Amino acid sequence: MSNNHEGRAVPQVIFRTRREHEWVNVNTDEIFKDKTVVVFSLPGAFTPTCSSTHVPRYNQLAPVFKQNGVDEIVCISVNDAFVMNEWQREQHADNLTFLPDGNGHFSAGMGMLVDKEELGFGKRSWRYSMLVKNGIVEKMFVEPDLPGDPFEVSDADTMLAHIAPSAAKPRDVTVFTREGCEFCVRAKGMLRDAGMQFEELVLNRDYSEACLRAVAGKSTVPQVFIDGVYIGGSEDLESYLGKAIAA
């Protein structure tokens, strides 16, 4: 897949979207005119790579993109509005704009509409990302023309490295908690005070006690992990944050 539209205008199309149970037509200018927009396009909603990596990382890094001059981050797929809206809700991707390219007009205009009939998908978008300024494509990252669904260059980190190479990225923080745990509340408060976003996993909703023992080697909560490193409970977190501030 060698189509590269750098220096060219994005296609003029109408996106048929749904808002508050009503059809709303959104045209290209409403998305791109007088704005800096990052777009990432992918083969299909609810598909594995798109759901596990592509969307979540763009959603996580959205605040950093916006701190570095990006007005909007748009996810486009050849799916209808109902599917795209439900997928956004399922992904909790509130930092992104999901646009349904149901008829493939935008993808075709970008030269990115491909045949996925072997998967039963019909016509879908090739995976790519682009930086668009006032409707003109400034930079594109197009996945290589390889079998399957390559995912090597259209990721959020690659785009952020192009826009702001020295930008600080949010830490990856996970907190295992349970309902009614005062120490868990304290740990979460310390993380918020430190400006650290975190994912909370709640006992008997998101994990079992056996799972916690397997991961942390303990059954008490909270248990905190930062960037893949085990920190421990609330007192351990307080010590960790204190050292980080002192440094």
Active site residues: 50
Nearest to 181 by CA among 215, 219, 236, 225: 219
DSSP annotation string for 196-212: ---EEEEBTTTB-HHHH
Sheet containing strand 173-177, edge to edge, reads 199-202, 173-177, 223-226, 229-232
Give CA–CA dist 1/144, Å, rounded.
6
Residues whose CB is less than 8 angstroms from the CB of residue 121 and which lie 6 or more positions away in sequence, other chains included: 43, 44
Q: Which H or E run includes 189? A: helix 182-193
CA distance between the termini of the chain: 47
Tokens matching residue 103:
């008829």
Classify residue 235 as left (phi > 0), alpha (psi -120 to 50) or beta: alpha
